[in-house]
Amino acid sequence: MSYVCLDCGHAFNVPREYREKHGLEGPPYEWIQCCPLCGGSFEPSVECDLCGRDVAESEVKELLGAYLCEECFKNEGGDTDVD
């Protein structure tokens, strides 16, 4: 599965994982996953059917059954005011 960072836009396959101790000397600790480049939040990505760019699932646009990034959606005449 591929992911895309919601902060920096970096596309990656494996998120960085670290243990957050929250100041505790012993468990339970929290395991946190983040973007390996900037440490930001991420979500699964979808590949744009026209340009091949990885797009966050929440940002992909659908036009006539094709999944498009916003730029390709605009170029194909999609209405940018409607999700």
User: Domain of 61?
Assistant: 3-75
What pLDDT score does 81 carry?
58
Q: Which residues contact 9 (CB under 8 A, 6 or more apart)?
A: none
Does 69 fall in a domain?
A: yes
Fill in the amino acid letter for 4.
V
* CA 69 to each of CA 35, 47, 57, 58, 61: distance values in angstroms, whole numbers, following the listed order: 20, 8, 10, 11, 6
Mean pLDDT (the chain, rounded): 91
Does 58 fall in a domain?
A: yes
Does 34 fall in a domain?
A: yes
Does 15 fall in a domain?
A: yes
* CA 20 to each of CA 31, 48, 51: distance values in angstroms, whole numbers, following the listed order: 6, 35, 38
Look up the pTM and report it. Answer: 0.75
Q: Is the pLDDT of residue 78 over 90?
A: no
